[in-house]
Amino acid sequence: MGENLLEVQDLKTYFKVKAGRVRAVDGVSFAVKPGEKVGVVGESGCGKSVTALSIMRLLPQPAGEYAGGSVLFNDQDLLDLPEKEMRKIRGGKIGMIFQDPMTCLNPTMTIGKQIGEALRIHLKLSKDEALKRAVSLLEQVGIPAAAERVNSYPHQFSGGMRQRVMIAIALACNPKLLIADEPTTALDVTVQAQILELINGVCTEFGTAVILITHDLGVVAGVTDRVVVMYAGKIVETAPTDELFANPRHPYTLGLLASVPRLDEQRHAQLKTIEGAPPNLINPPTGCPFMPRCAFARAICRTMPPLDPIGENSNHYKACWVDVTDPKEQAYAEKRRQARNERMLAVIKESALQTLEEK
Amino acid sequence: MDISEQLNLSTPITEEEVEPYLELTTELEQKRRSQGRIILDRFLRNRVAVGGAVFLIFLFLLCFVGPYLWKIDPNSIDVSSVTSTLSPPSLVHPLGTDTVGRDTLARIMAGGQVSLLVGITSMLMAILLGIGIGALAGFYGGMIDNILMRFTDVVLSIPLYLLLFVLSASFTDGSPKSVIILIAIFGWTYAARLVRGEFLALKEREFIAASRTIGAKDFRLMFRHILPNAAGPIIVNATLLTGTNIILESVLSYFGFGIKIPFASWGNMIADGQSIFALDGWLVLWPALAIFFTVLCLNLVGDGLRDALDPYMTER
């Protein structure tokens, strides 16, 4: 303890719905050191964003509930904090950026006022001081003619510019931690790199730790020090970024890496996917949640594997019984994959024939 | 001739040519008009609404500046001659005189002051009440919403005119102040429902979640972030409510429950003139026309504002 800025321990966040409880985050533990940049990756609906909202304690009420675990920030459990103290943390100590900059800015307020708002709430600055700080912040996030543009409204900015403004707002009070929830998903490819570079640069400069949530492995590769791979509300693998890309050990991570489309691939080649969809989190399968989609699966996968280091003194953890680097296992998985493909082709053929007959 | 010479390949591209394209992200240069300006432009394009607005401005000037130019006291009685009572429009009395020889134009001005004052101040009070109640209900939801909205339903379910007749008969003293308060106390219900609806929709928007992440308090969220975004419908409602309140005041005064003598109002002027309608129709006509055109123009302006403030009308 102590050396970690943020320590999420066995966090469980559930949502009450008619059909039962959705286990959106189910026993997630990870830590972020001061100044460290951590990526959280996974498919849609695997609990990345809910983890972020849980840290900020902004779960949609009354459906969301914290079923267990703790979120230690500077050795202080955020889940126990009274709402008043929590408001000081939000914006003051932890900043957040959302996915869609088009809808995250108040259309009726000038951006100068919106940036100044955090300063006025937390640092109790006067109107003029806040506006002055806003101008320098806008300059820092690379908006030209900042002194003029503070008085503009959000609709006068392009998407990339608005995301820059969002970054300025999130970093206004110089927080210790920045949570970026898919900050580039809604942007053009050409702007994405600029925004990532900006987040990276500014946070390095201020010494801000970053949790970067994304489904884009390219984003994670460029910016982060460490990656956490989430699946169905659980962490399945975590390792330093370079190690994870060079040496993925969980079948799900393998699948994610394989499904990144490549520009140098042969044209019209079939794009690789992970078959199936994430499990229903209302009644998740006991055991490894990835088992139904996993080519490496076997009987032992019916019990959940622990998140263990892959070797002595390693900082690479995986939650999988199988050693995916073993050639024998790979051959077995390949066979299963082919069998599955054949089965699927057969089903497709049959239904095609049926429709032909009906005609 | 060599083709490269034709294309002028030897001259390099200058810095000035490239520079404008080096900016990080493109800006939307053309939209430099402020939001208020855009709304004003859209409103001005609506001829009917502008006509209404012009008439209202004229009416305001007539009622509030007019008395300084038309210096006849609306309460001065002139029974010196037969021609000075119940006279039809003439040069001395452009709108004629009433049974006791008071100048109708001066009384229209005085009555207009009261009617407009009652309409506008009671609207302001009702809207403020409605915003407070609607904002609390919409923002917090749950129990608070239930209690406040059921209370609103109760107020709405009482027949308004009957209630106002009874209450004004027993509680008001016939002064404009008491009538204003009475109308405001029962006029907030539609505003409250409207504001609640807006708040329900707006509080789910992402920029509210974003403001929460910078640690904004509920009060700030409600009145700095949500309320300005709901301003359009509220302004429209306020305009229409002013018209409704003017009519309400006139009805009360007409039946003798509202503004009472010595205060003039358009409503009690109609009541006065009605008894001798067969003798002199003018006395009813002028205040009736004044009410009719005022309310009509308020509604036209309200409609114009509704169109101008509608965020989905994208044409600029």
Distance CA A226, CA B237 (A): 55
| Torsion sign, CA atoms B258, B263, B266, B272 | positive
Report whether pLDDT(B73) > 80.
Answer: no
| pLDDT, position A271 | 74
- At B196 the pLDDT is 92
pLDDT at B149: 92
Distances from the Cα of A292 to the Cα of A47, A285, A328, angstroms: 19, 9, 20
Least confident of A2-6, A195-199, B78-82: B78-82
Distance between CA A223 and CA A218 in Å, rounded? 9
The alpha carbon of residue B136 is apart from the nearest alpha carbon of chain A, in Å, by 17
How far is the C-alpha of B89 from the C-alpha of B87, rounded, in Å?
7
Residue A1 has what pLDDT? 45
Whole-Å CA distances, B17 to B25, B29, B297: 17, 19, 56
The pLDDT, as a whole number, for residue B316 is: 41
Share of chain B above pLDDT 90, in %: 10
The yes-or-no verdict on residue B123 having pLDDT over 60 is yes
Measured between CB atoms, does A79 come within 8 Å of chain B? no
- Residue B31 pLDDT > 60, yes or no? no
- For residue B2, the number of C-alpha atoms closer than 13 Å in the C-beta half-sphere is 5
Q: Are A56 and A6 in contact (CB under 8 A)?
A: no
* Res B315: pLDDT: 46
Buried b / exposed e over A5-27, threshold 16 CB at 10 Å, is bbbbeebbbbbeeeeeebbbbbb
B206 and A100: CB-CB below 8 Å? Answer: yes
Closest Cβ–Cβ partner in B23, B28, B212 for A90: B212
- Give residue B25's pLDDT band: very low, low, confident or very high (50, 70, 90): very low
Report the residue of chain B nearest A114, measured CA to CA: B211
Residue B300's alpha-carbon distances to B42, B61, B266, in angstroms, are 14, 19, 21
pLDDT of residue B64: 84
Measured between CA atoms, the residue of chain A closest to residue B311 is A107
Contact at CB, A106 and B26, closer than 8 angstroms? no
Question: pLDDT tens across B257-308, in order?
Answer: 777 777 788 888 888 777 777 777 777 888 888 889 888 988 888 888 888 8
Residue whose C-alpha is closest to residue A30's, from A239, A312, A304, A320: A239
Rounded CA Rg of chain B: 28
**Band of residue B15 on the pLDDT scale cut at 50, 70, 90:** low
Q: Which two tokens stand for residue A13?
A: 């966040």
Q: Distance (Å, rounded) from C-alpha A238 to C-alpha A216?
A: 16
- In this predicted structure, the answer to whether residue B185 has a pLDDT above a threshold of 50 is yes
Look at residues A88, A18, A90 and name the one whose alpha carbon lies nearest to residue A54.
A90
Q: What percent of chain A has pLDDT over 70?
A: 99
Residue that has been written with the tokens 């490496």 in this structure = A296
Structure-model confidence comparison of residues A12 and B315, the more confident one: A12
- pLDDT tens for residues A117-147? 888 888 888 888 888 888 988 888 888 888 8
**Whole-angstrom distance, CA of residue A158 vs CA of residue B88:** 66
Least confident piece of the model among A172-186, A206-220, B73-87, B253-267: B73-87
Residue among A89, A122, A160 whose CB faces B25 most closely: A160
ipTM of the complex, rounded to two decimals: 0.78
The better pLDDT of the pair B72, A20 is held by A20
Percent of chain B whose pLDDT exceeds 70: 80
pLDDT at position B232 is 83
Q: Is the pLDDT of residue A92 over 50?
A: yes
Averaged pLDDT score across all residues of chain B: 79
Instruction: Give which of B245, B241, B291 is closest to B268, Cα–Cα.
Output: B291
CB distance A142–B215 less than 8 Å?
no
Q: Find the CB nearest A142 among B24, B215, B229.
A: B24
Q: Fill in the amino acid letter for B263.
A: F
Per mean pLDDT, which range of B67-76, B79-88, B296-305 is the poorest? B79-88
